[in-house]
Amino acid sequence: MVKGHQLTICWYVDDLKISQKDPEVVTNVINMLEQKFGSMNTTRGQSHTYLGMDFKIGNGKVELMMVSYLKECIVSFGGAINTSAKPRQQKY
């Protein structure tokens, strides 16, 4: 908890996803990491790609899609794909 809100860091090998309500907190974490490990590529905003997942943030929700990863899996599969499925919209 930082400034009364959760700070979350997802870490996979050399990829991080840092989130917190206050953008200044995220900036401070990035600055501390860069002091220790050197300059990093960062993105900010409402759209991100992390480990094959595409995140879109807005209107009080997070949309997660894996279209690019799915296409890669289909190509790697190598077999014929003869049918399709209609995407299902879930509401929470």
pTM of the prediction?
Answer: 0.65
Sheet containing 47-50: which strands, arranged edge to edge?
A: 47-50, 53-58, 61-65
CB-facing half-sphere around the CA of 26: CA atoms within 13 A: 15
Spell out the per-residue pLDDT of the chain, length 92, in tens: 999 999 999 999 988 989 999 999 999 999 999 999 999 999 998 998 888 889 899 999 989 888 877 777 778 887 777 777 777 776 76
Residue 30: the pLDDT is: 96
Phi-psi region of 57 (alpha: psi -120 to 50; beta: other; left: phi over 0): beta
Note the helical H segments in 1-92.
Answer: 23-37, 67-77
